Amino acid sequence: MPACKMAEVESSGFISSSDNQSEKSDTDEKQIALLDDKTVLKGKKPEKVDHMADMARAYSSIISHVGEDVNRQGLLKTPERAAKAMMYFTNGYELQLDQILNEAVFDEDHDEMVIVKDIEMFSLCEHHLVPFLGKVHIGYLPNKKVLGLSKLARIVEMFSRRLQVQERLTKQIATAMVQAVQPTGVAVVIEASHMCMVMRGVQKINATTTTACMLGVFRDDPKTREEFLNLINKR
Ligand SMILES: [Zn+2]
């Protein structure tokens, strides 16, 4: 089972764009409305509109290149819809770990293993831009701090809604857990099915890929690791 190193935590770098965060606030909308036209052109909203139009044009080109008629009724709105869907599938870039953790890290003297298993995960393979999906199991051994349980699923979302490879996704979730609560150890296992394998190439419908990242005590102590693996395999 591959283990990744604690030392890599610092260099992992959580990609996020703080720019997009403010767009949702009401105050910002009002401020944009108050500005003159010139300033508005430099603002984020119009940029985002342009960028959706660019994406829709790109999808339109793809649709015609596969041999379809872009003017066929069923496809008329497809480029815009596809652009919106792609933005949704990749909205993890807009999330930041601090925001997710907001008021959900608690001081607690609990030092037994915490496991959340079967967290649903949907991501896009960065090599083919097709989905890979499956389940994430996260275990950690708290060190005076625990994280609200629902936040584990939010961390999974933050990293899975990006262009990904399963190995990196596994490691990013584990390092985010370290950043969040500095536990004695973290274990992350992902079992996923890749549409790029299922729908093309080898076409193995039931093939699943399992990746694991063990940090701290889960890496160093075979007993802890085994306990975790036994618990996640119990159905
Ligand atoms: Zn792929």
pTM: 0.79
Q: CA dihedral defined by 35, 37, 40, 45, rounded to 10 degrees?
A: 120
Instruction: Count CB neighbours of 7 within 10 A.
Output: 8
Has 51 been annotated as catalytic? no
The rounded distance, in Å, linking the Cα atoms of 146 and 116 is 13
Q: Using 50, 70 and 90 to split pLDDT, how confident is the model at 206?
A: confident
- Average of pLDDT values for 72-81? 97
Q: Is 196 a catalytic residue?
A: yes
Q: What percent of the chain has pLDDT over 90?
A: 69
Concerning whether 128 is annotated as a catalytic residue, the answer is yes
Contacts of 187 by beta carbon, 8 Å cutoff, 6+ apart: 137, 138, 139, 140, 174, 212, 213, 214, 215, 218, 225, 228
Cα 212 to middle of ligand 1, angstroms: 19
127 part of the active site: yes
| Residue 66 tokens, joined | 């596969």
Q: What is the mean pLDDT of the chain?
A: 84
Q: What domains does the chain contain, in order, with CATH numbers?
A: 3-89 (1.10.286.10), 98-233 (3.30.1130.10)
Ligand 1 centroid from CA 188, angstroms: 21
The predicted pLDDT at position 19 comes to: 38
* pLDDT band with cut points at 50, 70 and 90 for residue 200: confident
Angle (deg, nearest 10), helices 149-160 and 166-181: 140
Tens of pLDDT, residues 85-144: 999 999 999 999 999 998 899 998 888 999 999 999 999 999 999 999 999 999 999 999
List strands edge to edge, sheet with 114-125. 163-164, 114-125, 131-141, 185-194, 209-216
Tokens of 217: 């005590």
- Angle value at C-alpha 117, between 188 and 191, nearest 5 degrees: 60
What is the number of alpha carbons within 13 Å of residue 27 lying toward its C-beta?
2
